[in-house]
């Protein structure tokens, strides 16, 4: 079985998605992130705090996108909350 997966571009900046193996408290895990986080022009997303024990799960989570709804109602944010 192939260990290579296709990752969608970052939903915030369009840069390539990336994944790295990390060592955490529970052992080896996989963490998806935006490749622009490694450059000077940081992406607003940067590294995610999400990690998964299986690489396939990490890639699937990264590739998940919300359905685009054209007729969306925006929520007004009160200036005192900004």
Q: How far is the CB of 6 from Zn ion (least distance, A)?
A: 17
Of 48 and 52, the one with the shorter C-beta distance to Zn ion is: 48
Of 14 and 24, the one with the shorter C-beta distance to Zn ion is: 14
Q: How far is the CB of 33 from Zn ion (least distance, A)?
A: 8
Q: How far is the CB of 26 from Zn ion (least distance, A)?
A: 27
Query: Can you tell me the distance from the alpha carbon of 24 to that of 20, in angstroms, rounded to the nearest whole number?
Result: 12
Binding site for Zn ion (CB under 5 A): 10, 12-13, 15, 34, 36, 43, 45
CB neighbourhood size of 28 (10 A): 11
């Amino acid at each position: 079985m192939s260990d290579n997966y296709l990752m969608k571009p970052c939903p915030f900046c369009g840069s390539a998605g990336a994944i790295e193996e990390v060592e955490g408290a529970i052992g080896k895990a996989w963490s998806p992130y935006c490749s622009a986080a490694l450059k000077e022009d940081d992406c607003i997303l940067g590294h995610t705090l999400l990690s998964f024990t299986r690489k396939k799960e990490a890639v699937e989570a990264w590739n998940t996108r919300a359905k685009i709804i054209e007729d969306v109602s925006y929520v007004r944010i009160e200036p005192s909350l900004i």
